[in-house]
Amino acid sequence: MSELIGGRGGLRTHLNKVLEIHWAFVFLLCVIASVGFGMLISVAEGHLDPWASRQMIRFAIGLVILIAVAVVDIRIWMALAYPAYTIALLLLVAVEFFGTVGMGAQRWIDFGVFRLQPSELMKITLVLALARYFHGITLEQVSRPLYLLAPLLLISLPVILVLRQPDLGTSLLLAIGGFSLLFLAGISWKWLVAAGAASLAALPIAWQFVLAPYQKALILTFLEPEADIRGAGWHILQSKIALGSGGVFGKGWLQGTQSHLDFLPEKQTDFIFTMLAEEFGLVGALTLLGLYLLVLGYGLAIAMQTRSQFGRLVVMGVCITFLLYILINTAMVVGMIPVVGVPLPLVSYGGTAMMTLMFGFGLLMCVYVHRDVDVPRHSNSLI
Lowest-pLDDT range of 155-159, 259-263, 287-291, 302-306: 259-263
The confidence score (pLDDT) of residue 341 equals 75
pLDDT digits (tens, 9 = 90+) for 233-283: 667 788 888 888 888 999 989 888 887 777 777 788 888 999 999 999 999
* Residue from 340, 103, 325, 333 nearest 236 by CA: 333
Greater confidence (343 vs 291) lies with: 291
How confident is the prediction for the chain on average, in pLDDT? 85
Assign 324 to helix, strand or coil: helix
C-alpha pair distances (Å), 144 with each of 131, 155, 172, 175, 216: 17, 17, 25, 20, 36
The amino acid sitting at 250 is: G
Residue 15 exposure: Cα atoms within 13 Å on the Cβ side: 4
The CA-based dihedral angle spanning residues 162, 163, 169, 173, taken in that order and rounded to the nearest 10 degrees: 60
> How far, in Å, CA of 319 to CA of 299, rounded?
6
pTM of the model: 0.88
> How far, in Å, CA of 352 to CA of 369, rounded?
25
Q: Based on the number of CB atoms within 10 Å of its own CB, is 27 exposed (0-12), middle (13-18) or buried (19 or more)?
A: exposed
The confidence score (pLDDT) of residue 8 equals 42
Residue 13 pLDDT more than 60? yes
Residue 43 pLDDT more than 50? yes
Q: Please give the share of the chain, as a percent, with pLDDT higher than 90.
A: 46
Partners of 105 in the beta sheet? 102
Q: What share of the chain is helix, strand, coil (3-state, %, to 5)?
A: 70, 5, 25
The confidence score (pLDDT) of residue 282 equals 94
Confidence of residue 362 (pLDDT cuts 50, 70, 90): very high
The confidence score (pLDDT) of residue 369 equals 94
